Amino acid sequence: MMGHRAGDNSQVLALAEALGWPYEIRRFAYKSYELLINLTHGPTLSGTLPDQSSHLEPPWPDLVISAGRRNEPICRWIQQQAKREKHVRLIHIGRPWANFGRFDLIITTPQYRLPQHPHILQNNTPLHRVSQKRLESDAADWADKLQGMPPPYIAVIVGGNSGPYSYDREAARRLGKQASKLARQYGASLLVTTSARTRADTIQVLRDEIDVPCHFYQWRPDAEDNPYFAFLGLADRIIVTGDSVSMMTEACATGKPVYLFDLGQGWRAMRRQLPGKPKLLDKYLKKPRDSFDFRAFVYLSGMHLGPNRITRDIRIIHDYMISSGRAAWLGEGHPLESPPPLEDISRAVERVHTLFPELSTAKSG
């Protein structure tokens, strides 16, 4: 079940591919007031736009994998329609908004700070679609396009605003300078790619600050030549902005040294050297008007003053990547040259298999 967030969709597909079972993809468009419908109607399709959404009909699947709040009522509707025929297992990835017991399995990660529950699998990092085969294949397709770009390569994966953190022009300047410095240190060229969330006003700023050999790819929707996995495959080292848990995980899944770029500085930093809650909010309110991000401020307020249930804290993932040696903050030392592999995919697949005891019985028979 595809949603409106690329990171969520990537995790859904990652699990489907890792299971190795036949699967079909369904996509949906939603009414502008779907939140109100979903909060009051329970299992329903009423929040979708039928003419723009995938058609749902029997035969019903054995398993539905989804992520994101908008598809929760749709998944439960499928389960309700099929209940006379069979029990459709529901797997939710990330943070659900419905009662935990309504899902057969929830695969989550620490930034959501969900409690321990029999139906919850607590993974260390999000699921990802990185494989050696994919990296090698995509790298081979792009190698000829980089003629004249001397190796070794350092990939620079650029995200954007996320929760309380803003990727602004000043962050773009620092990223360009620090990435160039690392490239000079290793005699490397940069392979830069932006993403869907990269602010348009930051792109040229980043270009202007890079003063080493560089291939710069500007993200476009539905582009067939997206070099994301190719750059991960070609790179000897990877720089990734710290706003995207999915991009950080995919970078670390390559088994290469990874550098996290902190979008902020001082009290705005992603790193843990943060002042107390009241002081932090006071300083945020005193930001210059032209750099004030209202959405980021609202999120920051909820993160520090509201319940854990409504926000996420991606610093928990940062801490895990750093403490395990898989990553280092850009400009503050280096990660392990051969970091340990991530094992969350195999853990998730094993847990899904427990939902289908009949498969184990058939194999043993």
pLDDT above 80 (res 90): yes
Q: Where are the domains of the chain?
A: 6-128+345-364, 132-341
Which residue in the block uniquely carries the two structure tokens 């962050």? Answer: 171
Of 264, 242, 263, the closest CA to residue 321 belongs to: 242
Chain CA centroid to CA 325, Å? 20
Sole residue written with tokens 């019903």 = 60
Q: What is the mean pLDDT of the chain?
A: 89
Distance separating alpha carbons of residues 72 and 70, to the nearest angstrom: 6
Which of 235, 227, 281, 228 is closest to 258 using CA atoms?
Answer: 235
pTM attached to this predicted model: 0.85
| pLDDT tens profile 224-280 | 889 999 999 999 999 999 999 999 999 999 999 999 999 988 767 888 754 444 344
Q: Which two tokens stand for residue 292?
A: 């004030």
Distance between CA atoms of residues 285 and 216, nearest Å: 35
98-140 pLDDT tens trace:
899 999 999 999 999 999 999 999 999 999 999 999 999 999 9
Query: Which CATH number is 132-341 given?
Result: 3.40.50
